[in-house]
Amino acid sequence: MFTDSHCHITDDSLYEKIEEVIQNIIDKKVTSCMIMCTGKKELERALEIKKEYPFFKVAFGWFPEDAKTITEQDYIYLEDVIKQGKIDCLGEIGLDYYWDTSFNDLQKEMFIRQIQIANAYNLPISIHMRESTKDCMDILKQYAKTKIIFHCFSGSKETMMEALKMNAYISFAGPITFKNARQAPECIQACPVDRILSETDSPYLTPVPYRGKQNQPMYVEYVAKKISELKNIDLDSLCAQISKNYQSFFER
């Protein structure tokens, strides 16, 4: 029923209790779930999980922070993983100017190169965009040729409209349930229902009423409920639509 388009369950903090996390996913009817891997160890863990539970999708890509240290070997590793058919999506990739703006150019270079790799293998991409809207949108407009998810979308309605022109999917996370969520309600109301996705970004961004606790994919229910309220669509129909959107993201 529920879709979590972006979670980090192979991150150490969730992986240490992975059996419980997966049981909760099953019990709470999270039937679509994409594991985002930011390193080799996480990817190996995710592939093991997928072997046992084939309903998971697996994504891998070099995170903006990696632009400082990326090597040719790392690009080769990424391409090998794709060639072997190990991943369903390239991500999360993008630009993050929030913590450190001293290596923006390196971030852009790595972002463009990963988009080009995705293009070469016709692989969809999952985008991390933080404090970098203009550069990120410019690069996507110029280079991206495959399907796009804007993960944990927190931009303005104008930015969302630009993203929709690229036929992107807009994925909403826990912060839409926070009292101070300002732009999210307006975005959700304006977003065509066939472009909406839900996610947790767990272990981060826990939705209300569990805000402050560690996040898990099972809590995506609260994100979906908030979207259904804002769109005034009953929860079952919304979840069916989101699940359909998620499947179509992987169609090539």
Residues that bind Ni ion (CB under 5 A): 201
Closer to Ni ion by CB, 201 or 221: give it.
201
Residue 82 CB, nearest approach to Ni ion (Å): 19
Q: What share of the chain is helix, strand, coil (3-state, %, to 5)?
A: 50, 15, 35
Closer to Ni ion by CB, 9 or 228: give it.
9
Residue 6 CB, nearest approach to Ni ion (Å): 6
Which string of DSSP letters, residue by residue, matches 139-160? Answer: HHHHH--S-EEETT--S-HHHH
Residue 201 CB, nearest approach to Ni ion (Å): 5
3-state secondary structure of 60: strand
Query: Omega of the bond prior to 203 within 30 degrees of 0, cis?
Result: yes
Burial of 197 (0-12, 13-18, 19+ CB in 10 A): buried
Contact 171, 149 (CB under 8 A): yes
Task: Report which of 190, 246, 231 is spatially closest to residue 55, judged by C-alpha positions.
Answer: 246
Closer to Ni ion by CB, 36 or 228: give it.
36
Closer to Ni ion by CB, 61 or 115: give it.
61
Residue 49 CB, nearest approach to Ni ion (Å): 17
Closer to Ni ion by CB, 223 or 228: give it.
223
Contact 216, 14 (CB under 8 A): yes
Residue 112 CB, nearest approach to Ni ion (Å): 20
Closer to Ni ion by CB, 222 or 241: give it.
222
Residue 234 CB, nearest approach to Ni ion (Å): 29
The number of angstroms, rounded, from the C-alpha of 49 to the middle of its chain's C-alpha atoms is 18
Mention every residue, 6+ apart, whose C-beta is less than 8 A from residue 63.
Answer: 38, 92, 93, 128
Instruction: Give strand ranges (E) for the chain.
Output: 2-7, 30-37, 56-60, 89-96, 125-130, 148-150, 169-172, 196-198
Residue 152 CB, nearest approach to Ni ion (Å): 7
Cα–Cα distance between 46 and 67 in angstroms, integer?
23
Closer to Ni ion by CB, 4 or 201: give it.
201
Classify residue 85 as left (phi > 0), alpha (psi -120 to 50) or beta.
Answer: left
